[in-house]
Structure 1
């Protein structure tokens, strides 16, 4: 009988210990989950910098990214020989391309415009730093921590969302002035584009006139494209892509940069 009570006592103790361990484990899991929701624990949601410091770091990172992107994109062939950045003719120009493919030497006309568009973007990239830096300095970021702890291109995307239209307005006149500069064989991008459109329109005059007489659809519909607007948007798309790549580098290796705030904020996020 003593053995029976002894075994029962031991089993009771073991059961109590096991239940306590299970309760402790569940409580720990619950607290971890609560910390994750409230951001009060030692999980990823807790940061060792203030929102103001995050904003300073973001601005420093964007200035660094823009400077590097501008330097790299202003090199010859930076756009033209990069498949991800190369500026092609606008989709509205497809009817022109269809006609040029039937004309001896027509493809070279299109190639000339493409080359000049990319040279325009490369030249304009040299002067982007002041425009972007001005935009960055006036940025008002409410939740810097959220952006800093976001994706590898969160800051770049924020800049694009907040400043894109304004940057287009500032950037377009500069792009247009470059489009008018002689770039290759003493011909500007605008001149090359005009030659392209003129050739297309001349080729389509007779077929279009015949179609009008019969009430048919025009076989060579007129092409109207704001080349400066198109080139500006494409140049900026490439620029933002490169800024995003630079932001990724900063996040990965923040201690390679001189900014103390970049090192403190982004460095604290490295696991």
Structure 2
């Protein structure tokens, strides 16, 4: 990723971070806390860390000393994640961090030796079926639970409704399933595929809903999300470009005026914490 692309992506991750934090299924934390209780220092491997939002959200919600190992392919994002990580847990215990520039789909159970927990946020939809299978196999082989959050599932609701909503949504979902450099992404099918893979490995999975619920207070996020959503749909189906242009202008105006509300559905998965 170029330096400019990395900065743009980091800005997007920062903009969406509060919505991700509000959406995450916090009821999944209690079984995580029970699993980690009394185990000494907690070692958490965070896959696809980006700017570190998962660590900033989760570390203050867990007690006891923690060591976070953050993985990403982008060195600049990893540097940001480490610099902005919190340094204390819920009970004031220390939180430390290290970064690893690695392809998480190539990790083995040996790479996760000693892990207390694997985490990820907004990652699964960018993986292929084979890559998800390898990630699941690594976690299952290491015997550590996995908390995988904010995976899109292909459902979006805009209020007020517009006749073009469904067509844009369908084209966007097809774009999420596109083939890139020989990799066919799972997109909105990824969460279900991941849950099924854990089940095949004999690991129990708890799936919860974690929707973004965006309104006037998130007008900037709605506008940025909407632009990306429409652009991806038009990239997938170029014939949409004509009607999509006035649609996007109309929707952005509604967001700026505080009249547009958006629900983007996600699923959170907790595997192996039972």
Query: Shared fold by TM > 0.5?
Result: no
* TM-score normalised by L of structure 1: 0.27
* Larger strand fraction of residues: 2
Bigger-Rg structure (1/2): 1
Q: Which has the higher contact order (CA 8 A, sep 6+)?
A: 1
* TM-score normalised by L of structure 2: 0.27
